[in-house]
Chain A
Amino acid sequence: MIAAENIHVTFNRGTPLEHKALRGVSLTLADGEFVTVIGSNGAGKSTLLGAIAGDVTPEKGVIRVGADDVTREKPALRARRVARVFQDPLAGSCANLSIEENLALAACRGVRRGLGLALNGARRARLRDRVAELGLGLENRMGDRMGLLSGGQRQALALVMATLADAKVLLLDEHTAALDPGMAEFVANLTEKLVVEHKLTTLMVTHSMRQALDHGTRTIMLHEGQIVLDISGERRRTMTVDDLVDMFRRVRGGAELDDDSLRIG
């Protein structure tokens, strides 16, 4: 379970650039729940993710993972329980390390790193098997540098990396936004599969209304740092992308959508 209780985050406090990114967000995710997050630019989606991951320390409010208060826990320590995939495919892995080195690094998330060989026989075989499951043929290129792969391949591997060690929580920050449509769909489906397989409590930020409804079990909409919509169950199942876009527009005070891609995506 993860819980955010009355989270407030303000950037550049006390300056003319002061920006209230989150204004009292409360959100509780039950174990295994898969929540998609939508909202316009600057609504606070990434800030919410950052607060849960530990990149952003809220000035008010509490973040809990399970029963523990992790509000002030450093991101590196929090990584024991919280796995992440970033929007930028280049951000989630090291270009200069090989595929298997990147995977070995992720396999140690939350474990004390000792002086044992990172790539011993048993671990190599295990990593290879996990990569083979992708069906991308990358299991034959385990020694290749990560930098040689395409953005989609890297993002698929980033998902594998996020699920190598036993995390409880998976945070996805528009992780398909930088990919071509075919690869975006592949990665989205892979996400769904891995989340179910590993019973992860998941928060997925997305720009695409379609994706927000197609994946996961619950959808929330953020606007100006507050949760303005929270749907799940029957109501969500019967909702169409157009319904969602209408709600989105109503929330924004009837203003025309400046981003038609919301509808298309």
Chain B
Amino acid sequence: MSAIAFWGAVELGLIFGFVALGVFLAFRVLDFPDLTVDGSFPLGAATAAVALSNGIDPWTSLLIAAAAGSVCGLVTAFLNVRFGILNLLASILTMIALFSVNLRVMGRPNMSLLNQDTIVTPFYDLGIPDHIVRPLVLLVLVVIVALLLGRFLASDFGLAMRAAGANPRMAQANGVDVGRQIYVGMALSNGLVGLAGALFAQIAGFADVTSGVGTIVVGLASVIVGETLFRNRSMLIALFACILGSVVYRVAVQLALSADFLFLKASDLNLVTAVLVTLALILPKLKARRRAA
């Protein structure tokens, strides 16, 4: 694997670090299996692409994308909290609707952004090679977001959110409005994913309605890899483990794809991902069974 391919994998891993944080918030903190992200990721990409091509500055486009992602989360939360639709099903409904929404937003299936300024453009003048500047900028961003998220989860409100996910009955008995926590948590989670979509569009130079397929699996893979790397961790370490998990996962996939003897092609990515996640889910159980035997 070349240095450029390696840094490319790190870069992608850091972008999906935001997805991992969002998925962690939904799956682990709120205990809400949320597939909305498969729609909110491309929506983030689409809104950012449209914003950029309309002359809006790159940073503002990130905020717009995050806001758009949050709205998706709110829709899913609304279906679940207000109407009692099963969480998984509610998120699938939103996801499927978003495919059409994304086509409407862009007006076509994909958009190129090759000559647009991005958030990284100003940093290309620093004299560091381009393929290293990008991951550096992303690293700073994702660390800031993880610190903010960690601080949020350590607050009274964040603690209530963790309780609402872990033990809704107890949370309610302690005056926590569980429904409201789901709204806020889902908005945050999908906002992070929308942000990731926007960063992906800016860095990759395009937005595509199909780019969201498997976002949830990749996010979950990152969370699981992170949890495997750091067990018995504090909340802040768990958040950074998600980001690290995302990077490790991308580098591992890159290694697998560039190992000639495996006969893998880039188009095998989703298959490889599914197999890796399945293994990560099965292995702890097998280990436990062996220990019990």
Contact = CB atoms under 8 A, between A and B. Distances in A.
Interface in A76-114: 76-77, 79-80, 83-84, 86, 91-97, 101, 104-106, 108-111, 113-114
Interface string B152-189: 10111111101100110111111111100000000000
Contacts of A255: none
Which DSSP category, helix, strand, loop or mixed, fits chain B's interface?
Answer: helix
Given A115-B152, A119-B154, A79 B173 contact: yes
Contact of A114 (B155, B170, B178): B155
A118 B154 contact: yes
A110 B154 CA distance: 19
A190 to B, nearest CB: 19
A15 B92 CA distance: 33
A94 B156 contact: no
A76 B166 contact: no
Nearest to A123: B156
A74 B176 CA distance: 11
A97 B166 contact: yes
Contact of B172 (A79, A96, A110): A79
A94 B152 contact: no
A111 B160 CA distance: 12
B166 A96 contact: yes
Q: Which of B155, B169, B171, B174 has the most CB of A within 10 A?
A: B174
Contact of B156 (A77, A97, A118): A118
B176 to A, nearest CB: 6
Contacts of A61: none
Contacts of A106: 174
B166 A116 contact: no
A58 to B, nearest CB: 18
B159 A75 contact: no
Nearest to B175: A79
Contact of B175 (A95, A101, A104, A110): A110
A117 B154 contact: yes
Nearest to A104: B159
Contact of A91 (B154, B155, B159, B170): B170
Instruction: Give chain B's interface residue range (CB within 8 Å of chain A).
Output: 20 to 34
Contacts of B162: 94, 96-97, 101
Nearest to A83: B173
A116 B173 CA distance: 22
A53 interface: yes
B177 A94 contact: no
B175 A93 contact: no
A209 interface: no
Interface in A160-177: 161, 165
A84 to B, nearest CB: 5
A82 to B, nearest CB: 9
Contacts of B152: 115
A93 B171 CA distance: 8
A101 B157 CA distance: 12
Contacts of A105: 159-160, 163, 171, 174, 176
Nearest to B161: A113
B157 A114 contact: yes
A113 B170 contact: no
A108 to B, nearest CB: 5
A93 B156 contact: no
B167 A76 contact: no
B110 to A, nearest CB: 39
B22 to A, nearest CB: 19
A114 B171 CA distance: 16
A79 B177 CA distance: 10
A80 to B, nearest CB: 6
5 contacts: A76-B175, A79-B173, A93-B170, A105-B171, A113-B155
Given A76-B175, A97-B166, A105-B174, 5 more contacts: A104-B159, A105-B176, A118-B155, A118-B159, A165-B175
Interface of A: 53, 74-77, 79-80, 83-84, 86, 91-97, 101, 104-106, 108-111, 113-119, 161, 165
